[in-house]
Amino acid sequence: MADSKPAVDGEPMDMEALLQSVFGIVIDEAIQKGTSASEKVCEWKEPEELKQLLDLELQSQGESQEQILERCRAVIRYSVKTGHPRFFNQLFSGLDPHALAGRIITESLNTSQYTYEIAPVFVLMEEEVLKKLRALVGWSSGDGVFCPGGSVSNMYAMNLARYQRYPDCKQRGLRALPPLALFTSKECHYSINKGAAFLGLGTDSVRVVKADERGKMIPEDLERQIFQAEAEGSVPFLVSATSGTTVLGAFDPLDAIADVCQRHGLWFHVDAAWGGSVLLSQMHRHLLDGIQRADSVAWNPHKLLAAGLQCSALLLRDTSNLLKRCHGSQASYLFQQDKFYDVALDTGDKVVQCGRRVDCLKLWLMWKAQGGQGLEQRIDQAFALARYLVEEIKKREGFELVMEPEFVNVCFWFVPPSLRGKQERPDYTKRLAQVAPVLKERMVKEGSMMIGYQPHGTRANFFRMVVANPALTHADIDFLLDELERLGQDL
Amino acid sequence: MADSKPAVDGEPMDMEALLQSVFGIVIDEAIQKGTSASEKVCEWKEPEELKQLLDLELQSQGESQEQILERCRAVIRYSVKTGHPRFFNQLFSGLDPHALAGRIITESLNTSQYTYEIAPVFVLMEEEVLKKLRALVGWSSGDGVFCPGGSVSNMYAMNLARYQRYPDCKQRGLRALPPLALFTSKECHYSINKGAAFLGLGTDSVRVVKADERGKMIPEDLERQIFQAEAEGSVPFLVSATSGTTVLGAFDPLDAIADVCQRHGLWFHVDAAWGGSVLLSQMHRHLLDGIQRADSVAWNPHKLLAAGLQCSALLLRDTSNLLKRCHGSQASYLFQQDKFYDVALDTGDKVVQCGRRVDCLKLWLMWKAQGGQGLEQRIDQAFALARYLVEEIKKREGFELVMEPEFVNVCFWFVPPSLRGKQERPDYTKRLAQVAPVLKERMVKEGSMMIGYQPHGTRANFFRMVVANPALTHADIDFLLDELERLGQDL
């Protein structure tokens, strides 16, 4: 039954040799060069050229080991280095070696997180990690699960909230229910809208609550909206507050929102995908005061904790097995009840997926290595570096803060020489809006750094610096500002 | 800003040393021992003992490198070896080194598959891989996306089908629609029910079509059910056929089902999560004849192709940008329209997630290495080995086929000595049902092999052998039968 090619099927020695070579390439190209400030953060190619370079087409004939290793090198070469100290583009960055070690072990074990039978270590480990995250929220009991991303965690919360209110929905569907309404601020993540559409509620069911100029939900407007929804014949069932909004990094006032939820008997969800990790910091966790009053919390350690994509926990205060009742379907081929161990350990029926990746090991291993203290230090360091950036921005001509940040999102404009002091000109805003896209193109094509920009409400395109990579130093922050000046000096 | 511990933050040399050590452990423990027939497939521990052994609790203090490496060893030691040649427990198994190489590179690059900006290689690669899979379905154009598992792929298909019929649903929700009905056979995967509940349709909207005794959907009953749903005031919108059912490995008659869908104007989805890979085999792809008439296909290369969890493609015949219209929400912080490249390459708005893992590289790299021919050979080999098992079962006393398989699921009873020839006894079925759980407990506690069992309809617990690991040989099949005899000789 052996393969006819000189290939690796069933040949452990070849398998080992290949993987050793690939490990070497990963160490050299992705780890060393990928995190070195003297290397490019990206090697820009136009799509058509990149297609040629990668020779993507899948053929009938296999290729030699040498060709395959060359392909591995090319894939890494032309990929963006998200662990690079000048990658500021997303809410995730950096490269934690312990988390990466956990990810590599996860991949080598290749199992699914549904039964104790085939994932004994990870069933127990997931529960322990979730318990720790819940403790940081302030809960001594509860439930939870790792989801494929924060958007899915938010959808889970929405589904659990409606099931708790109307268990009939699972069987009879939304048509058997009154029209439902949920509430979130205009600064919420777009997954709330996507979730409402996917879950059949429709985006009209999302009532948009006003936010103040810092981006925080206004609890008084929330209550106004609840009354209005009721007056229009809808049944409010859920409020989704945000701890760490995507652009401004705002924290909704959770205690005041919890009061409103309590008065109206609403499920209180906190989307802390971005800001949840602040709970590790004694100094800054006050930003999430009141989170212990939530019914559910979405928290992505793959963002500020750099655990690696994806690591997204949905945490629940519930102790009534709501997850399993809401999502379970008791598949008899997988969740046999006549097993020789406690089948409560078969947690796969808590989720709407079947096979589910192991997302706990990377976080667990990193936590074991750094300790809660080490992780706390990282959070505090990120806040301190964000503060340093703010002060530097204030010192430099041509840089203008959008607002004082309260988190590690630092939003600012770079005003190029030709626009300085011209705020009164009628085309100022329009011209300022064109600056960020030009600078972005220049930095990406040079490969010197990557930072995101966006318009926001009536504000023209501004940069959103995200201080998340634990390897960042003052020098990297200085570089960011110097580089924007250099790239924009002729504008 | 340096960490106070002698840790790795910002220290490339330490990072490299740690990862080199972890690579070594992975090679020794997970790759070599993990795929060696002379090692155990699992090291069973009772949950309480395993908790002690793993020392799972997360502390404040970090640990030394030596402790961390010992933890890596323990995690691997007590995990099930799904790449082991005696792991027959799930629809995935085996360890393809090229796929694993692709997974390790994916983890080291740690990016998200939403924009060309931060995933240039993978945006182009995903499209190329999907194109190849679509070509095997029989489509020269279309769309698609990798999803976090087949269950989510199936949900996507359901959401797309209802959106295509009722675009209003996205905004106004299901309450604005007539009651909907979808159709699938009683042998379908449980994700169809989970999806109906999650999407707000309710499980009542799933009409269960009869299957024949081999587990294939009966098209005449499908049409009967459609008429009945209409008579009851529901609007049929989707049929989900299955290519490769979970337990019996049955293939629904796609052409006949396509005829029914065509007559009634219904979206035709094929859940080929398990059976889709058979399309690679010239010899066996007739099992999926008619699949080219589908509107959508779910296909998990992480199963029979051993690409690694998770690799789950949703393929669409649609060329009208339905995915993006149905799921998109145009987040301005991520999908800026004033970028310097063609923003059609920012495919992230096609999905309901935000961040999305890179699932294409592992499959692409494996395909490049093996070629389509090498993969085809694996499929053919799996069929041949399944046939060998069937013939051996027929030769041996005490083994009884549930039915002649048409795929690589081989379902059979082991009848222990005390029950042979006792079929007429009134408690025969009840006693036979107790055999598989006992044998399962014995094999797991010895760590000699793992194979799944389940009841099915009126049939008592039987074993489901899955021939999927490309490294399997006749000797492994012989071992399976010998081992069941050995474990069950006293029963």
Q: Interface pTM (ipTM) of the complex?
A: 0.97
Domain ranges, residue B201: 112-357
The pLDDT score that the predictor gives to residue A333 is: 82
Q: Are A471 and A94 in contact (CB under 8 A)?
A: yes
Alpha carbons A51 and A299: distance in angstroms, whole number: 36
Closest CA to B48 of A371, A127, A320: A127
Put simply, whether A155 touches B (Cβ < 8 Å) is yes
Do A223 and A268 lie in a common domain? Answer: yes
> Does residue B126 sit in the same domain as residue B77?
no
Alpha carbon of B345 to those of A124, B123, B134: distances in Å? 40, 7, 19
A429 Cβ under 8 Å from any chain B Cβ = no
Residues B253, B165 share a domain:
yes
Mean pLDDT, rounded, for A163-177: 97
pLDDT (0 to 100) of residue A8: 45
Position A441 in a domain = yes
Nearest Cα neighbor of A336 from B451, B467, B196 is: B451
> Does B444 share its domain with B309?
no
> Are both A164 and A259 inside the same structural domain?
yes
Residues B67 and B122 in one domain: no
Closest CB from A1, A80, A132 relative to B119: A80
Confirm whether B86 is domain-assigned. no
* pLDDT the model gives residue B139: 98
Domain for residue A215, yes or no? yes
In our burial notation (b when 16+ CB lie closer than 10 A, e otherwise), range B80-104 reads bbbbbbbbbbbbbbbbbbbbbbbbb
Q: Are the Cβ atoms of B352 and A194 closer than 8 angstroms?
A: yes
Q: Which two tokens stand for residue B374?
A: 């090498």
Q: What is the Cα–Cα distance from B189 to B209, expressed in whole angstroms? A: 13
Average pLDDT value for residue range A222-227: 98
Minimal CA separation from B103 to chain A, in Å: 7
> Is B111's Cβ below 8 Å from some Cβ in A?
yes
pTM (predicted TM-score): 0.97
Contact A316, A160 (CB under 8 A): yes
Last residue of a domain, one of A357, A385, A417: A357
| Facing residue for A173 by CB, picked from B68, B121, B204 | B204
B323 plus B387 within the same structural domain = no
> Does residue B455 belong to the interface with chain A, where contact is any CB pair within 8 Å?
yes
The answer to whether B348 contacts chain A (CB < 8 Å) is no
Q: Find, among B340, B336, B332, the residue nearest to A445 by Cα.
A: B340
Q: Do A35 and B15 touch (CB under 8 A)?
A: yes
Residue B210, domain CATH: 3.40.640.10
C-beta of residue B116 within 8 angstroms of C-beta of residue B328: no
Does residue A105 sit within a domain? no
Question: Which chain A residues are Cβ-neighbours of B128 within 8 angstroms?
Answer: 56-58
Q: How many domains does chain A have?
A: 3
Which residues of A are less than 8 Å from B355 in CB distance?
Answer: 92, 149-151, 302, 309-310
Q: Would residue A304 count as lying in a domain?
A: yes
Chain A CB contacts of B203 below 8 Å: 170-171
Minimal CA separation from A362 to chain B, in Å: 11
Dihedral of the alpha carbons of A421, A424, A425, A429, in degrees to the nearest 10: 90
Both B347 and B375 in one domain: the answer is no
pLDDT of residue B335: 85
| pLDDT tens figures, A295-347 | 999 999 999 999 999 999 999 999 999 999 999 998 888 888 999 999 999 99
CATH code of the domain in which B454 resides: 3.90.1150.170
Question: What backbone torsions phi and psi does residue A367 show, to the nearest 5 degrees?
Answer: -65, -45
Q: Is residue B291 part of a domain?
A: yes
DSSP output for A189-209: -THHHHHHHHTTS-GGGEEEE
For residue A5, pLDDT beyond 90: no
Choose the final residue of a domain: A40, A63, A81: A81
Average pLDDT over residues A339-362: 94
pLDDT on residue B14: 84
Tell me, yes or no, if B203 comes closer than 8 A to chain A by beta carbon.
Answer: yes
Residue B268: its pLDDT value, please? 98
Question: How far is residue A269's CA from residue A259's CA, in Å, rounded to a whole number?
Answer: 13
Residue A474 lies in a domain: yes
**Is residue A414 domain-shared with residue A267, that is, in the same domain?**
no
Contact B109 A46 (CB under 8 A): no
Taking the mean position of all CA atoms in its chain, how far away is CA A34? 21
How far apart (Å, rounded) are the C-alpha atoms in residues B413 and B451?
A: 12
d(CA A329, CA A91): 35
> Which B residues, 383 through 402, put their C-beta within 8 Å of a C-beta on chain A?
384-385
In chain A, what percentage of residues exceed pLDDT 90? 95
Does residue B164 contact residue B123 with C-beta atoms inside 8 Å? no
The Cβ of residue B46 has, within 10 Å, a number of other Cβ atoms equal to 12
**Which of A67, A79, A402 to probe by mutation at the B interface, max B CB count within 10 Å?**
A79
| The predicted structure's pLDDT at residue A431 | 97
Q: Which tens digits make up the pLDDT trace of A138-167?
A: 999 999 999 999 999 999 999 999 999 999
Helices (H) and strands (E) in chain A, counts: 15, 12
> Which residues of chain A are within 8 Å of residue B198 when distances are taken between CB atoms?
155, 159, 198-199, 327, 352
Do B412 and B347 fall within a single domain?
no
Domain-embedded: residue A429: yes
Q: Is A48 part of the contact surface with chain B (CB cutoff 8 Å)?
A: no
Distance of alpha carbon B246 from alpha carbon B256, whole angstroms? 21
How far is residue B51's CA from residue B58's CA, in Å, rounded to a whole number?
A: 13
Q: What does the pLDDT profile of chain B (491 residues) look like in tens digits?
A: 333 333 445 454 588 999 999 999 999 999 999 999 999 999 999 999 999 999 999 999 999 999 999 999 999 999 999 999 999 999 999 999 999 999 999 999 999 999 999 999 999 999 999 999 999 999 999 999 999 999 999 999 999 999 999 999 999 999 999 999 999 999 999 999 999 999 999 999 999 999 999 999 999 999 999 999 999 999 999 999 999 999 999 999 999 999 999 999 999 999 999 999 999 999 999 999 999 999 999 999 999 999 999 999 999 999 999 999 999 998 888 888 899 999 999 999 999 999 999 999 999 999 999 999 999 999 999 999 999 999 999 999 999 999 999 999 999 999 999 999 999 999 999 999 999 999 999 999 999 999 999 999 999 999 999 999 999 999 999 999 999 999 999 99
CB contact under 8 A, B30 and A108: yes
Q: How confident is the model at residue A4 (pLDDT cuts 50, 70, 90)?
A: very low
Which of A5, A98, A354 shows the shortest C-beta gap to B150? A354
Last residue of a domain, one of B357, B377, B406: B357
- Among A13-22, A172-181, A193-202, A206-215, which is the least confidently predicted range? A13-22
pLDDT value of position A330: 86
Give the integer Cα–Cα distance in Å for A235 and A159: 15
> With contact defined as beta carbons under 8 Å apart, do B51 and A126 qualify?
no
**Residues of chain B with C-beta less than 8 angstroms from the C-beta of A44:** 120
Report the chain A residue with the minimal C-alpha distance to residue B341: A46
Mean pLDDT within A349-373: 97
A303 → chain B, closest CA residue: B355
Put simply, whether A249 touches B (Cβ < 8 Å) is no
- Do B144 and B116 lie in one domain? The reply is yes
Please report, as a single letter, which amino acid is at residue B255. D
Q: How many residues does chain A have?
A: 491
Rounded Cα distance, A488 and A440, in Å: 10
| Claim to verify: residue A342 and residue A430 sit in the same structural domain | no
